Amino acid sequence: MTLSADTRNTRSDDAAFGRPRPPSPQRPQIDDRPVEFWPTSSIRAALDTDDLTVWQRIVVAVKRDPYGRTARQVEEVLETAPPYGVSKALAEVLVRTRAHLEANECAEVARHVRLLLERSGLGQQEFASRIGLPPATLATYLEGTDCPAASLMIRMRRLSDRFAKIHDDRTDR
């Protein structure tokens, strides 16, 4: 009895006839060091695996430092990776993590602007006028929806310092 080619067990036939077996796909070895120390090639290899724990390690490193070395390596790898699966998910992690960081930074700046305003003893409209802003713009800084330029922060600090000094001098008398 002869079997058709599609019903034979080709692996046992290959071994029986002394033909070499095709190499079995091996999973790339994953670096045991912290992700922050991986070379870009390890990041690339990790994206080619189906190991969720490795992907999670990369995500944790990106969230820890959204503009750090690992995040930059992920960006580099994603430039050439097909836009689906884990590469699409990691791209989304980068975008969301950076947006979250920026929102936190704007909130921190808002707290600082509020502190400068309170320290000056001026009203919101007077403070805005003295730093050359419309009150609505200052309000966006106080709400954290927008962040002022560094030069404007210096102007606010100087104004706050000047008026805080005036208040201190008056209370000393």
Query: Could you tell me if 154 and 109 lie in one domain?
Result: yes
**Domain annotation covers residue 17:** no
Domain, as residue range, for 156: 103-173
Query: Could you tell me if 129 and 161 lie in one domain?
Result: yes
Query: Could you tell me if 76 and 110 lie in one domain?
Result: no
For each of the chain's 173 residues, which pLDDT tens digit applies? 454 444 444 444 444 445 544 444 455 567 788 999 999 999 999 888 878 899 999 999 999 999 999 999 999 999 998 878 888 999 999 999 999 999 999 999 999 999 999 999 999 999 999 999 999 999 999 999 999 999 999 999 999 999 999 887 777 66
Query: Could you tell me if 110 and 73 lie in one domain?
Result: no
Query: Could you tell me if 113 and 75 lie in one domain?
Result: no
Query: Could you tell me if 64 and 107 lie in one domain?
Result: no
| CATH, residue 170 | 1.10.260
DSSP designation for 145: S
DSSP designation for 85: T
> Domains in the chain: how many in total?
2
**Domain annotation covers residue 72:** yes
Query: Could you tell me if 169 and 124 lie in one domain?
Result: yes
For residue 93, give the amino acid letter. V
Query: Could you tell me if 70 and 114 lie in one domain?
Result: no
How confident is the model at residue 27, as a pLDDT? Answer: 52
- Give pTM, 2 decimals: 0.70
Residue 66 to residues 4, 34, 63, 91, 136: CA-CA distances in angstroms? 57, 16, 5, 12, 31
**Domain annotation covers residue 11:** no
Query: What are the phi and psi torsion angles at 153 (to 5°)?
Result: -65, -40
Q: 34-59 burial string, b = 16+ CB within 10 Å, else e?
A: ebeebeeebbbbbbeeeeeebbebbb
**Domain annotation covers residue 9:** no
- The answer to whether the CB of 21 falls within 8 A of the CB of 11 is yes
How confident is the model at residue 173, as a pLDDT? Answer: 65
- Owner of token pair 């989304």: 92
